[in-house]
Amino acid sequence: MSTKSVTTVEGGKPQAGATAPTVEATRRRNALKRRFVQVMRVLLPIALIAGWEATTGDPATEPGVLFDSFYISTPSEIWAALVEWARAGVLLTSIQATVEAMLYGFAVGAVLGILVGIVLGSSPVLGDIFQPLIVALNAIPRLALVPLFILWFGFGLGSKVALVSLIVFFLVFYSTYEGVRDVEQRLVDVLKVMNASRLTIQLKVRIPSAASWIIQGLRVSVPYALVAAVTAEIVGANTGIGYLIQRSAGNFFTAGVFAGIAVLVAVSVVINGLVTLLERRLLRWKPRNLSGAGVP
């Protein structure tokens, strides 16, 4: 029996004629892996939903079921609740109310967080002065402020926007603050030697250098903004997805609670997808990590 030997040189790298996988074979394997992952992403939720439907029901009339539908409902009942909400016009109105509060609160909190982060991050003196106050305010539990916001702004859009803005502000502020402080001092010194103004230093060095930090802070705060809007609706509101969940729970309508959660999951997936696309467009200038890609 003859065997093939692998010809090597110094450093252990295979030469021509060595038994190594070809580039085309590697591409085929990667394509099969991607296809397998895509198929499983579709089949797994379908299998879970089918298993949920098959094992859940009313034990009084269906002795063979494993779970009581009173506690976890069933996919068919959840779908029926969504269809009923859609026919009544409640579903679209609730989604619009929640997303509106989220967007308004996100815009206010993000703008304030970026501005305050740039100002305090650019001035070590101001940063040291206001740091204890910022830490103290950030330590306040957010839910404890909801009754106060309701007292100030009522059961409507204002209280929801206030809570969302507060949560987004601190997330964006700390990210921006650290990004501005992480700027290389030598770049600032070069512009100072050239007699550049403070505004020029901010626009040419600090903000561009901290851009990735700021965008990351914005990206992280998006799901928290949605959570804050829904939380405010559950605690005290008369519209929105959170209100639907709270009302369904008060009426012991389990399918309605799960239907509201399903709507939140769908909204979260759409928003995260849009944020990811926006992040890629805004950070096109940033070079990718080429480590391990064979680039010398």
What does the pLDDT look like over 139-181, one tens digit per residue? 888 888 888 888 888 888 888 999 999 999 999 999 888 887 7
Which of 10-19, 45-54, 230-239, 279-288 is predicted with the least confidence, judged by mean pLDDT?
10-19
Report the pLDDT value the prediction gives residue 7, as an integer from 0 to 100. 47
* Residue 259, both tokens: 């239907």
- Model confidence, pTM: 0.75
Give the C-alpha distances (Å, rounded to integers) separating 138 from 13, 167, 239: 56, 9, 28
Is residue 47 scored above 90 in pLDDT? Answer: yes
Quickly state the pLDDT bin for 104 (edges 50, 70, 90): very high
DSSP-derived secondary structure letter, 142:
G
In percent, the amount of the chain with pLDDT more than 90 equals 32
Q: What is the mean pLDDT of residues 98-124?
A: 90
Residues 6+ apart with CB under 8 A from 126: 119, 120
* 52-56, 195-199, 289-293: which is most confident: 52-56
Please, how many CA atoms are within 13 Å of residue 208, restricted to the half-sphere of its CB?
A: 11
Q: What is the mean pLDDT of residues 234-257?
A: 89
Residues 6+ apart with CB under 8 A from 196: 204
Residue of 230, 245, 63, 69 lying closest to 142 (CA atoms): 230
Is residue 218 scored above 80 in pLDDT? Answer: yes
Q: Write down the number of H helices and E strands in the chain.
A: 13, 2
Which helix H or strand E contains 153, and what residues bound it?
A: helix 146-153
Q: What is the mean pLDDT of residues 187-201?
A: 66
Is residue 185 scored above 80 in pLDDT? Answer: no
Residue of 221, 217, 222, 223 lying closest to 118 (CA atoms): 217
Domains in the chain with CATH codes: 24-67 (no CATH), 86-282 (1.10.3720.10)
